[in-house]
Amino acid sequence: MAYLQRALPGSEPMRKAQSLLEQLKAEASLDVDSEGFSGGFHGNSSFCLAEDEGVEIEVQEGFLSFDADLVADQLTYMDALLFKKVIPHHCLGSIWSQRDKKQNKHSAPTIRATITQFNAVAACVVSTILHRQQIRPLLRARVIKRWIDIAQECRVLKNFSSLRAIVSALQSNPLYRLKRAWSWVPK
């Protein structure tokens, strides 16, 4: 929050972050009041998205509330920090091919960091889409569409590492099998 207040005072991301923080505090106080102590955090909350009051959909507010360009900017920033630290000769085959051996566990740390970042982005894509088992295909399609939008923004920013991580995750078996959700994604 402090960073947003300094860097983007009064901006849309600042307002969204403030709103999310207030919601979290309200949920935490409700949990403490009702149970005495909140043992865990449940990031999803139910609210009505349709005009019909009977239709309730659980939305991953934290993810869907952020603009695709903001997420892509942050991914690009994180990747840029890692790529600036890469030592070129660590990319060579002799060092690179021996990275998994125990005696070489600490060789090529900058390359390991970029791989870890790539894997973290891919895991984040999969986990946000598969977060809940009992989620409607339409909502899952919205999350998929948001990741596609983020990937397109990464392409514009020439962040091919995160772009490839997102595309790889979207093409992974767990997500590929979501036929009903993919049918709702606009072409």
**What is the pTM (predicted TM-score) of this model?**
0.64
What confidence tens digit (pLDDT) does each residue in 141-159 have? 999 999 999 999 999 999 9
Look-up of token digits 């002799």: 94
- Mean pLDDT, rounded, for 172-180: 91
Domains of the chain plus CATH, in order, are 66-184 (1.10.840.10)
- Provide the token pair at 120: 């973290």
- Provide the token pair at 136: 């409607």
Q: How many residues does the chain have?
A: 187
Look-up of token digits 């360009």: 69
121 in helix, strand or coil? helix
Whole-number pLDDT of residue 86: 87
Q: Which long-range contacts (CB under 8 A, 24 or more apart) does 152-157 make?
A: 152/68, 153/68, 153/69, 153/71, 153/72, 153/73, 154/72, 154/75, 154/76, 156/72, 157/72, 157/73, 157/76
Whole-number pLDDT of residue 65: 82
Name the residue type at position 23.
Q
